A = this chain, B = another copy of it.
Amino acid sequence: MKIGIYGYGNLGRGIESAAKQNSDVELIAVFTRRDPETVKTITGVPVYSAGDILDFKDKIDVLIICGGSATDLPEMTPALAANFNVVDSFDTHAKIPEHFTNVDNAAKSAGKIALISAGWDPGMFSLNRLYASAILPEGSDYTFWGKGISQGHSDAIRRIDGVLDARQYTVPIESALDAVRSGSNPELTTREKHLRECYVVAKEGADLARIEKEIKTMPNYFADYDTTVNFISLEELKRDHSELPHGGFVIRTGKTGFNKEHNHTIEYSLKLDSNPEFTGSAIVAFARAINRMHSRGDTGCKTVFDIAPADLSVLSGEELRKKML
């Protein structure tokens, strides 16, 4: 399978790394909106201007689009699906139905296939919510995130006057996880589920008390959480907080039995040293699946819910039944 990467940031590099680990995958080109002369890939894969993408119409089996969900993907994915089989990791949950319709129309008209919202959330976490709720129709779902870096929250801190750089960790609260696992079906407030830990590098002479207050009272991002703010040096930030770990938990508890007398807990968890590399690895597996589906004549927009798991694996159906069933 020949793949291309459209957009070369953290996720693009994660896909480049994943392509190296999958012997049936060949990464043939990276496309950028920047000047291609200024972009060098880690494995030496050639870089082209995004404007030249149509020259590759017959050279790429699946194009993986690595753009932002806010403004890039709503435009890029439908446009590119008119000429390529594509995968994106669109993660604005509320706008998924609209994005699905736009991509579906574009892909169907062109006889192409597209997969939106691939990765781990949306992605593997969504799949686990679906499997668990299908098996235990009477129950409750809980999703916890972390411990991990939230790029959105880190960016929000960086925009505060007097802040040079910052990292924000989302931390699930252990006692809340335990309450959920017990099957007691707790109703949890935002504050009870996650903590927010901030590591902030302030500019020289900045008013630290004001910065801390601005962080802790920021609506939507921090006001509803117990937030800790730690001021550290730039050296400490680079030494201790330069990685992008993440992870989380999807838990469903439910009851069965003629008198609902039996409790069950289904738990799926991820502990990831590198969020973009894990996301890239998941996306490459899903790209394999849609490439196979397209070769069987399938077109239009798909989500992870529409992918038969066997299509994700490099192994044949026969090998899978023998080794993994």
Q: Does A51 contact B (CB under 8 A)?
A: no
Contact with B along A7-23 (1 / 0, CB 8 A): 00000001001101110
- Which chain B positions have C-beta within 8 A of A320? 130, 303, 305
Q: CB distance A308 to B305 under 8 Å?
A: yes
Q: Nearest 8 A-B pairs (CB), nearest first?
A: A262-B273, A134-B312, A305-B310, A256-B277, A262-B274, A134-B285, A265-B271, A134-B313
Number of residues of chain A lying within 8 A (CB) of chain B: 70
- Which chain B positions have C-beta within 8 A of A173? none
Q: CB distance B305 to A306 under 8 Å?
A: no
Q: Does A122 contact B (CB under 8 A)?
A: yes
Please, could you name 13 A-B residue pairs with CB atoms under 8 Å apart, sorted by A? A100-B321, A134-B285, A135-B285, A256-B281, A263-B273, A264-B271, A264-B273, A265-B272, A266-B268, A303-B310, A305-B308, A305-B320, A307-B309
Whole-angstrom distance between the alpha carbons of A22 and B22 in the complex? 41
- Which chain B positions have C-beta within 8 A of A324? 126, 129-130, 133, 305
Whether A267 touches B269, Cβ cut-off 8 Å, given contacts A306-B317, A310-B305, is yes
Whether A21 touches B138, Cβ cut-off 8 Å, given contacts A126-B324, A309-B304, is yes
Whole-angstrom distance between the alpha carbons of A100 and B321 in the complex? 9
Q: Which residue from chain B places its CB closest to the CB of A122 in the assembled complex?
A: B325
- Which chain B positions have C-beta within 8 A of A131? 124, 127, 309, 312
Whole-angstrom distance between the alpha carbons of A216 and B197 in the complex? 52
Q: Which residue from chain B places its CB closest to the CB of A324 in the assembled complex?
A: B129
Whole-angstrom distance between the alpha carbons of A257 and B20 in the complex? 9
Q: CB distance A306 to B310 under 8 Å?
A: yes
Which residues of A from 8 to 64 have beta carbons under 8 Å from B? 14, 17-18, 20-22, 42-43
